[in-house]
Structure 1
Amino acid sequence: MRTRNKPWAKDRLAQYPQYAIASPEECRGKWASIFGNDHPIHIEVGTGKGSFITGMAKAHPDINYIGIELSESVIVTALDRIIEAELPNVKVMNVDANDLEQFFAKSEVERVYLNFSDPWPKTRHEKRRLTFKSFLKIYENILRDNGEIHFKTDNQGLFEYSLTSLSQYGMTLLYVSLDLHKSGYEGNIMTEYEKKFSEKGSRIYRLEAKYNA
């Protein structure tokens, strides 16, 4: 579904610099100072409307969260959720995931979340998938040693591709679920897509993997 353009979104983001980071390249290597603490940093690439990241920030106040989203018309909804909840441990950035190394220094991030990413099913679009090897390299370059990727999707093809991609990259799979909502997994925070798909009876796939130092 096409996202409705919100021409006022840029101004809305600019009104809340305490949550929406306008110049993230200036924060590289300085995120502890930005948050005012040395808590672990977790980022969500493709944060959408913010249900997951705000839910995680509420549940884990001792972790700092940063939501990455390319569409300002989408991320402005995440911003509104953060404002309403008054969450000091979450920020959002309207940037491209290809540029993450411009915003984070080596070992500055502890975990990357990839939730319901675009599956890009055509073979010619493989390089756009967020679990393609070039993206895995980007994440590796900003994560600490043994940093982790947590991934969820309703798309079986993308999940199978991601299992292979992460394994071929040399990562260790820590957890794999072929039906998350029937697995007994505790502490799951749902995204907007996850809620919609699960209500329709779709199976949710999930994995956790770590880079080997």
Structure 2
Amino acid sequence: MGSKNKLKRFNENATFKNVIQPAREEVVSHFKYQGKWNEFFGNDHPITLELGCGKGEYTVALARKYPNRNFIGIDIQGARFWRGAKTALEEGLNNVAFMRTQIELVDAAFAESEIQEIWITFPDPQMKYKRTKHRMTNPEFLVKYQRILQPNGIVNLKTDSEFMHGYTLGLLQGRGEEILYAHHDVYSNTESPDEVTATQTFYEKQYLEIGKAITYIKFRLH
């Protein structure tokens, strides 16, 4: 994407009512929407997050499917989720928002037990050992998710990385977490949840074209 296109999207994001772009200091000091996201949406519907949302495919697709739930896509790359934010506005989806911030600030952006469900879609697996702290399912991130999730809240991990799938599955099993579903190739399994196979991200389609398997884990944190 050219720099002119990025700048255009950044500028357009600033005019979108469904896009929030706080400075890091705003989030960590006392974020105005922490514990008050239902005021932002104007209802008390349950909230689902898509972390590292990219173009926001899951955020928008789930919002279409579940009009009585609210969905927030989070990514540090505002030029990416511009597409999802624009689509949501064009379709009049009032249950969609996008927030530009770092994923590690998620527990500062949301209050304890404020979130019902989390989707992590095709994160960077950060395979090198020294990058472990950046893996979005490492123990520190799991603690953050547990803090903001309701007691029976769900986490979904969908990835093309066998390494990320195996790492997460082993970590969850070692911690004694509740694994609701796990499969290393969701499109070869007729019992895969519809939400997993019905929506395909931009990158997922590219992976499928070259025959790469897509993995999925659904779990609860206790």
Normalised-by-shorter TM-score class? over 0.9
- Partner of 1:85 in structure 2? 91
Q: Kindly, what percent of the aligned residue pairs are identical?
A: 31
TM-score by length of structure 1 reads 0.92
Larger displacement relative to structure 2 (140-149 or 80-89): 80-89
- Partner of 1:20 in structure 2? 19
Written as runs of structure 1 = structure 2, the 5 A alignment for 1:105-116 is 105-116=111-122
Written as runs of structure 1 = structure 2, the 5 A alignment for 1:25-40 is 25-40=31-46
- Partner of 2:195 in structure 1? 187
The size of the alignment, in residue pairs, is 209
Structure 2: give runs of 5+ residues left out of the alignment: none
Instruction: State whether structure 2 residue 167 is matched by structure 1 residue 161.
Output: yes
- Displacement of 1:179: 1.1
Aligned-residue Cα RMSD (Å) equals 1.5
- Displacement of 1:11: 1.9
Contact 1:4 1:73 (8 Å CA) reproduced: no
**Cα distance in 2 between the residues matched to 1:91 and 1:155:** 28
Q: Deviations over 1:85-128 (max 9, x none)?
A: 22111100000011112210000001110010001111110110
Instruction: State whether structure 2 residue 130 is matched by structure 1 residue 124.
Output: yes
Contact 1:50 1:81 (8 Å CA) reproduced: no
Q: Secondary structure of 2:61's match? A: helix
Contact 1:133 1:169 (8 Å CA) reproduced: no
- Partner of 2:64 in structure 1? 58
Instruction: State whether structure 2 residue 173 is matched by structure 1 residue 174.
Output: no
**Cα distance in 2 between the residues matched to 1:170 and 1:135:** 16
- Partner of 2:7 in structure 1? 7
Contact 2:21 2:101 (8 Å CA) reproduced: no
Q: Secondary structure of 2:171's match? A: helix
- Partner of 2:157 in structure 1? 151
Q: Secondary structure of 1:117's match? A: coil
Give the partner amino acid of 2:204. E
